Amino acid sequence: MGGHPFPEIPCTICAKPVDLVVDLYADEYGHAMHEACYVMRVTNVKNQRAAEKLLNTLSTEQSIVLCPFCRSPLLHLGATFKLQSGKAWMIPLPVCGYCLAAGPAHPRLDA
């Protein structure tokens, strides 16, 4: 018996066969790809521009003041997001101390 123990699966980017023992990468749909192809895809200029657009939008949006679930005042924790290009954004992430302390079983008050 010779050959591959698995059927050949083509990379979704380059269409060459993927070695499932070595290349354990998949796209958002679960399709196999090579590590190098995956890195090339996520560092693509188009993806970088989309990420920059999203981060620019998030950094200019007005922060919400009250928790949408319990109406308590929110804390805003600064989070830094940095892209491979070196550009960075500090975006305040809203956190409700009351809902966080109540845990995942905390009921939604607006439901």
The Cα-based distances of 74 to 28, 43, 81 in angstroms read 33, 35, 21
Among 9, 64, 65, 6, which Cα is nearest to 34's? 9
State pTM to two decimals.
0.50
Domain ranges of the chain: 62-111
Among the residues of 1-111, which ranges form H helices? 35-42, 45-60, 97-102
107: Cα within 13 Å, side-chain hemisphere: 3
Place 14 in a pLDDT band, splitting at 50, 70 and 90.
very high
87-98: pLDDT as tens digits: 899 999 899 988
